[in-house]
Amino acid sequence: MGDTAHILVVERDAEERRRIAAAVSEGGWKVTEATTAATCLAVLRRNADVVVLLGLDTPDMDGRELLARMASAHPETPAVVVTAVDDVAVAIDAMRRGAWDYVVKRPDGRHLEDLRHVVARALERQALVRERNRYREEVEALAIALRGTTDGVAILEPLGRIAFVNRALAEAWKQPESAVVGRLLDEFVQVPGEAVALGDVLAAVAERGRWSGEVRTRGVEPPQGVWDVTLTPIACPEVVTGSAAGRSQTVVAIFRDMTDKAGLEQMRADFLSMITHDIKVPLTVILGYTEMLTDPEPPPDQIPPDILTRIRESGETIHALVCNFLDLSRIEAGRMSIDPRPVDPAAILAHAVEHYGSSARRKGLTLELETEPLPPLLVDEPQLDRVIANLLGNAIKYTPSGGRIMLSARLEGDDVALGFEDTGRGIPPDELPHLFEKYRRVREAKRTEGTGLGLFIAKTIVAAHGGDIRVESKVGSGSTFTILLPVKMPESMAARAAVG
Nearest to 31 by CA among 20, 39, 42: 20
**435 contacts 360 by C-beta, under 8 angstroms:** no
Shortest Å distance, C-beta 345 to ligand ADP: 20
The stretch among 49-57, 60-68, 98-106, 436-444 that binds ligand ADP (CB under 6 A) is 436-444
Q: Is 152 in the site for ligand ADP (CB under 6 A)?
A: no
Nearest to ligand ADP of 147, 361 (CB atom): 361
Shortest Å distance, C-beta 454 to ligand ADP: 3
The stretch among 104-112, 148-156, 360-368, 445-453 that binds ligand ADP (CB under 6 A) is 445-453
Q: Is 419 in the site for ligand ADP (CB under 6 A)?
A: no
Residues linked to residue 422 through DSSP beta bridges, in sequence order: 405
What is the CA 24 to chain-centroid distance, rounded? 60
Nearest to ligand ADP of 227, 456 (CB atom): 456
By CB under 6 A, the count of residues binding ligand ADP is 21
Exactly one of 258, 398, 407, 415 binds ligand ADP (CB under 6 A); which one? 398
CA angle 377-382-386, nearest 5°?
100
Query: Per-residue contact track with ligand ADP, 372 to 391, x per CB under 6 A?
Result: ------------------x-
CA distance 239 to 255: 25
The half-sphere exposure of 199 on its side-chain side, counting CA atoms within 13 A, is 3
Interaction residues for ligand ADP, span 236-255 (CB under 6 A): none
The stretch among 187-195, 200-208, 301-309, 421-429 that binds ligand ADP (CB under 6 A) is 421-429
Q: DSSP letter at 489?
A: -
Q: Is 455 in the site for ligand ADP (CB under 6 A)?
A: yes
Exactly one of 395, 409, 464, 483 binds ligand ADP (CB under 6 A); which one? 395
Exactly one of 19, 441, 467, 489 binds ligand ADP (CB under 6 A); which one? 441
Exactly one of 191, 435, 461, 469 binds ligand ADP (CB under 6 A); which one? 435
Exactly one of 55, 63, 78, 452 binds ligand ADP (CB under 6 A); which one? 452
The strands making up 189-190's β-sheet, listed across from edge to edge, are 162-165, 152-156, 251-257, 226-233, 211-217, 189-190
The pairing of strands 51-54 and 6-10 is: parallel
Exactly one of 445, 487, 494, 500 binds ligand ADP (CB under 6 A); which one? 445
Nearest to ligand ADP of 173, 456 (CB atom): 456
Annotate 422-481 with DSSP letters as a single string: E-S----TTTGGGTTSTT---GGGGGS---S-HHHHHHHHHHHTT-EEEEEEETTTEEEE
Exactly one of 453, 469, 484, 493 binds ligand ADP (CB under 6 A); which one? 453
CA distance 436 to 452: 8
Shortest Å distance, C-beta 300 to ligand ADP: 37
Shortest Å distance, C-beta 424 to ligand ADP: 4
**345 contacts 312 by C-beta, under 8 angstroms:** no
Shortest Å distance, C-beta 192 to ligand ADP: 29
Q: Which are the contacts of 235, defined by CB distance < 8 A and separation ≥ 6?
A: none
Exactly one of 55, 450, 466, 467 binds ligand ADP (CB under 6 A); which one? 450
The pairing of strands 30-34 and 341-343 is: unpaired
**213 contacts 191 by C-beta, under 8 angstroms:** yes
Q: Is 69 in the site for ligand ADP (CB under 6 A)?
A: no
340 preceded by a cis bond (ω within 30 of 0) = no
Burial class of 189 by CB neighbour count within 10 A (0 to 12, 13 to 18, 19+): buried
CA distance 12 to 54: 9
The stretch among 64-72, 327-335, 352-360, 442-450 that binds ligand ADP (CB under 6 A) is 442-450
Shortest Å distance, C-beta 406 to ligand ADP: 12
Interaction residues for ligand ADP, span 461-500 (CB under 6 A): 479
Residues interacting with ligand ADP, by CB under 6 A? Answer: 390, 394-395, 398, 422, 424-425, 427, 435, 440-442, 445, 450-456, 479
